[in-house]
C-alpha cells in the first residue's frame, strides 16, 4: 500500500492525446499513482511505451489480453481505481459511455467501477456543439459524471472555438486539489430536501412541478465536500446520489414532512431546497377519474409547510429556505424570510429556460441584515458558494445560539467560520 491516490487515466483517440503523457507527470507530481488505459484509436497518436515510461506501469489496452484477463484483470483494475479520468474524451467515447457500451477495455472499466468518473472532452468545435454530443454529455452529468472543459481557442483543425482539452496542469489541479469549501462544515449534520413532490389525484394522476432536483443535489454534494454528514430527502427525480450522501426517497409533501421530522433532531443545518407542493387534493379518488366531456373541479388544501414547521421548533437547526419566483424575486424572498422566521433564504428566478432543467443557476441570498448575489454559474459552483456562506453565518460552537436556534454540539472538530475568514465568495 503506497497511500497514494489511485487514478485510472483513460486516453481516447484525438490529437489532444499528445498532452496526456504530461498529464501523467502532473498527476504523479501531486502524489497520484497512475494506471493508463488506452483505446485502439489513442494508439494512433501516442505509443503505449510513452505512458509506461512516465507512469512506471505497463499500459493496458486490450480487453482480450489473455495474461491479464486470466485473473479478471478488467474487474481488478475497476476495483483498484479511486478516480477515473478520461483525457482526452473524444465524441465517440462520450457517446459510447452514454450508451452503456462495453466494447473495449476502457468502456468496460467505466461500467464496472464504482469510482467517480471525470471526462476532459476534446474535439472539433462543431462536434462539441452538435446536439447529439450535448445530449450525451447531459446524460452523463445526470449520472454523476464530472465534466472538466472543454476550453476555447485555436484547434488543430485550424478552426477556433470550444473543444480544446484543458491543459494538463489545470486538469491535475482540478482533480486532486480539495474544493474551495473543504472542511467548512466538518463534523456537522446537514439535512437537505430536494426535487419536486407529487400529490396524487387518483391512482394514475398527480399534481407536481418542473423541479429537476439538480440544485438540491448540488447543495448536498457541496455540503458533503465541506465535511458534513449529509442526509438528502428527495422527491421523485432521475439523479445519481452524490458520493457519501444518505438518500431518502419520498413522493408527497406529507411523506417529505414525515421524513424531515424523523431526522431533524440530529441536524445542525436544515436546507429546504425542495420544490414542495403548496396545495394537495382534499381527497384522492380510489379509481381513475374518467373523462366525461365536462369540466372537473379539484378541491385543494394547503400542503404541509415543511420549512416553517422546522423554523417553529423550540430547539431548531440553522434553517435555510429557497424561494423560486417568476417576478419580484427579492421582494417575495424577503417576505418569506421574515414570515417563516428563517436564518437565510436563497432566491432565484424561474421560468421557461431559467433554472428549471438547467445545469446552471444564479442566486440572491438574503439573511437578516445582509445580502449576497451569486452570479450565474454551474449549479455545483453555486452550491459551494452557498455552503461557504452558510458556514460563515453559523453561530460559533461555543457562543450563544441565536434566538430559537438549536445549540450546536460542544466539540465539533473546528469552528467553520475560522476557516472562512481568509476566503472570499466569488460573485
User: What's the CATH number of domain 5-176, 1.10.10.60, 3.40.50.10800, 3.40.50.1950, 3.10.129.10?
Assistant: 3.40.50.1950
pLDDT, residue 412, reads 35
Pairing of strands 206-207, 199-200: antiparallel
Which parts of the chain sit beneath pLDDT 50? 1, 69-72, 400-427
Q: How many CB atoms lie within 10 A of CB 224?
A: 21
Question: Rounded CA gap, 417 and 419, in Å?
Answer: 5
pLDDT, residue 401, reads 45
> 67: exposed, middle or buried (C-beta count within 10 Å: 0-12, 13-18, 19+)?
exposed
> Is residue 110 flagged as an active site residue?
no
pLDDT, residue 74, reads 65
pLDDT, residue 242, reads 83
Beta strands, E only, 223-297: 229-234, 246-249, 269-272, 279-281
Q: How many CB atoms lie within 10 A of CB 379?
A: 22
Q: CATH 3.40.50.10300 residue ranges in the chain?
A: 189-420
Q: Find where cell 438549536 sits.
A: 406
The closest of 123, 122, 117, 124 to 140, measured between CA atoms, is: 117
For the 189-420 domain, the top CATH level (class) is alpha beta
Q: Which residues of 118-130 are buried (b: 16+ CB within 10 A; e: fewer)?
A: bbbbbbbbebbee
Pairing of strands 189-194, 229-234: parallel
The residue annotated as part of the active site, out of 157, 289, 298, 418, is: 157
Q: CATH 3.40.50.1950 residue ranges in the chain?
A: 5-176
pLDDT in tens, 308-330: 999 999 999 999 999 988 888 89
Write phi, then psi, for 53 (nearest 5 degrees). -65, -40
- DSSP code at position 313: -
Q: Find where cell 428549471 sits.
A: 356
Pairing of strands 83-89, 5-11: parallel
pLDDT, residue 351, reads 64
Amino acid at each position: 500500500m503506497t497511500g497514494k491516490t489511485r487514478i485510472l487515466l483513460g486516453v481516447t483517440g484525438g490529437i489532444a492525446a499528445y498532452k496526456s503523457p504530461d498529464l501523467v507527470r502532473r498527476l504523479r507530481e501531486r502524489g497520484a499513482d497512475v494506471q493508463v488505459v488506452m483505446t485502439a484509436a489513442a494508439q494512433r497518436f501516442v505509443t503505449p511505451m510513452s505512458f509506461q515510461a512516465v507512469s512506471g506501469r505497463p499500459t493496458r489496452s486490450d480487453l482480450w489480453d489473455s495474461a491479464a484477463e486470466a485473473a479478471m484483470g478488467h474487474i481488478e483494475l475497476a476495483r483498484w481505481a479511486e478516480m477515473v479520468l478520461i483525457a482526452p474524451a473524444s465524441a465517440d467515447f462520450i457517446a459510447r459511455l452514454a450508451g452503456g457500451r462495453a466494447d473495449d477495455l476502457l468502456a468496460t472499466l467505466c461500467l464496472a467501477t464504482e469510482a467517480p468518473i471525470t471526462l476532459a472532452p476534446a474535439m472539433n468545435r462543431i462536434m462539441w456543439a452538435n446536439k447529439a454530443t450535448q445530449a450525451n454529455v447531459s446524460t452523463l452529468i445526470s449520472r454523476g459524471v464530472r465534466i472538466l472543459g472543454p476550453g476555447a481557442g485555436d484547434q488543430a483543425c485550424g478552426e477556433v472555438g470550444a473543444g480544446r482539452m484543458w491543459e494538463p496542469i489545470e486538469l491535475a489541479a482540478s482533480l486532486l486539489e480539495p474544493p474551495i469549501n473543504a472542511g467548512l462544515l466538518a463534523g456537522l449534520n446537514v439535512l437537505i430536501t430536494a426535487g419536486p413532490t407529487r400529490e396524487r389525484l387518483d391512482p394514475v394522476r398527480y399534481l407536481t412541478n418542473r423541479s429537476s432536483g439538480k440544485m438540491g443535489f448540488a447543495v448536498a454534494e457541496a455540503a458533503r465536500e465541506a465535511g458534513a454528514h449529509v442526509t438528502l430527502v428527495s422527491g421523485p427525480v432521475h439523479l445519481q446520489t452524490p458520493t457519501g450522501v444518505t438518500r431518502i426517497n419520498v413522493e408527497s409533501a406529507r411523506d417529505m414532512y414525515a421524513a424531515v421530522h424523523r431526522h431533524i433532531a440530529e441536524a445542525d443545518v436544515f436546507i429546504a431546497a425542495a420544490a414542495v407542493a403548496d396545495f394537495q387534493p382534499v381527497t384522492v379518488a380510489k379509481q381513475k377519474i374518467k373523462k366525461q366531456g365536462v369540466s372537473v373541479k379539484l378541491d385543494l388544501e394547503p400542503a404541509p409547510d415543511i420549512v416553517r414547521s422546522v423554523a417553529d421548533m423550540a430547539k431548531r437547526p440553522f434553517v435555510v429556505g429557497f424561494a423560486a419566483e417568476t417576478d419580484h424575486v427579492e421582494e417575495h424572498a424577503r417576505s418569506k424570510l421574515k414570515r417563516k422566521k428563517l436564518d437565510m433564504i436563497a432566491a432565484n428566478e424561474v421560468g421557461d429556460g431559467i433554472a428549471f432543467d438547467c445545469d446552471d443557476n444564479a442566486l440572491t441570498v438574503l439573511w437578516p441584515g445582509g445580502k449576497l448575489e451569486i452570479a450565474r454559474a454551474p449549479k455545483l459552483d453555486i452550491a459551494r458558494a452557498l455552503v461557504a456562506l452558510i458556514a460563515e453565518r453559523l453561530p460559533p460552537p461555543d457562543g450563544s445560539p441565536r434566538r430559537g436556534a438549536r445549540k450546536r454540539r460542544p466539540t465539533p472538530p473546528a469552528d467553520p467560520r475560522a476557516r472562512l475568514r481568509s476566503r472570499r465568495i466569488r460573485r
